[in-house]
């Protein structure tokens, strides 16, 4: 949280060669659009980190983590019981990761397993009344927080940013061309 060892930024210590020059040269060669997009990507990383912090803090006193909140949200949004792989697909993470959260939340009486008529081993999961109550309280808090956070932001600008981000997301989802692996 603090750099006690080298506060003053100018004194030249031991340095021999400078990769920075390469970084700068590459950046200047790019068109403005690509540079803006790179900045957007970096900002998304930073915001993502902050959002995870805030999200965890928001639901901590409900006894869940934001990962568990997300699982509750995926099932609630589907409005019907889902299997672990279905939830994983909806959340964009692996089924094993989802399964761990489901196991924990089932043990904590937030989810219940139901027999799946379509599959002998792959149970369906549905929130218990306790799980539903916790989820709705989480959503209430999120809603209040979003209202506070959006205070004074321009509606059209928000919508414009959302449109662009969705476009970006669409461009990112399809191709993963193996990169000469």
Restricted to residues 136-165, the positions that interact with a copy of itself (CB under 8 A) are 136, 139-140, 142-143, 146-147, 149-150, 153, 155, 157-165
Tell me which stretch binds DNA (CB under 7 A): 14-22, 23-31, 120-128, 159-167. Answer: 120-128
Residues with Cβ within 8 Å of residue 95, at least 6 apart in sequence: 84, 85, 87, 88
Q: Which of DNA, a copy of itself, none is residue 140 near (CB under 5 to 8 Å by kind)?
A: a copy of itself
In the region spanning residues 112 to 131, those forming contacts with a copy of itself, defined by CB under 8 A, are 114, 116-119, 122, 124, 126-127, 129
Strand (E) or helix (H) holding 95: helix 95-107
Closest CA to 87 of 47, 127, 57, 120: 127
Q: Tell me how many residues contact a copy of itself (CB under 8 A).
A: 104
Q: Which of DNA, a copy of itself, none is residue 100 near (CB under 5 to 8 Å by kind)?
A: DNA
* Per CB under 7 A, 3 contacts DNA: yes
Task: Check if the beta carbon of residue 104 is closer than 8 Å to that of residue 63.
Answer: no
* Per CB under 7 A, 93 contacts DNA: yes
* Per CB under 8 A, 64 contacts a copy of itself: no
Rounded Cα distance, 90 and 87, in Å: 5
Specify the residue for token string 């939340």. 105
* Per CB under 8 A, 96 contacts a copy of itself: no
Rounded Cα distance, 47 and 181, in Å: 31
Rounded Cα distance, 92 and 45, in Å: 17
Interface with DNA (CB under 7 A): 1-5, 65, 67-68, 70, 83-86, 93-97, 99-101, 103, 118-123
């Amino acid at each position: 949280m603090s750099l006690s060892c080298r506060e003053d930024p100018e004194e030249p210590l031991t340095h021999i060669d400078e990769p920075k020059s390469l970084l700068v040269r590459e950046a200047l060669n790019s068109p403005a659009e690509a540079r803006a997009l790179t900045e957007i990507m970096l900002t998304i990383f930073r915001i993502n980190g902050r959002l995870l912090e805030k999200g965890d803090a928001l639901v901590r006193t409900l006894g869940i983590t934001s990962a568990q909140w997300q699982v509750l949200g995926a099932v609630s949004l589907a409005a019907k019981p889902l299997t672990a792989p279905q939830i994983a697909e909806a959340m964009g993470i692996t089924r094993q990761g989802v399964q761990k959260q489901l196991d924990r939340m089932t043990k904590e009486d937030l989810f219940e397993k139901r027999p799946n008529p379509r599959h002998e081993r792959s149970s369906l999961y549905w929130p218990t009344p306790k799980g539903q109550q916790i989820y709705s309280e989480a959503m209430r808090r999120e809603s209040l927080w979003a209202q506070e956070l959006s205070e004074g932001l321009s509606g059209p600008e928000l919508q414009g940013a959302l449109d662009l981000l969705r476009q970006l997301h669409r461009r990112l989802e399809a191709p993963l061309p193996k990169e000469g692996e």
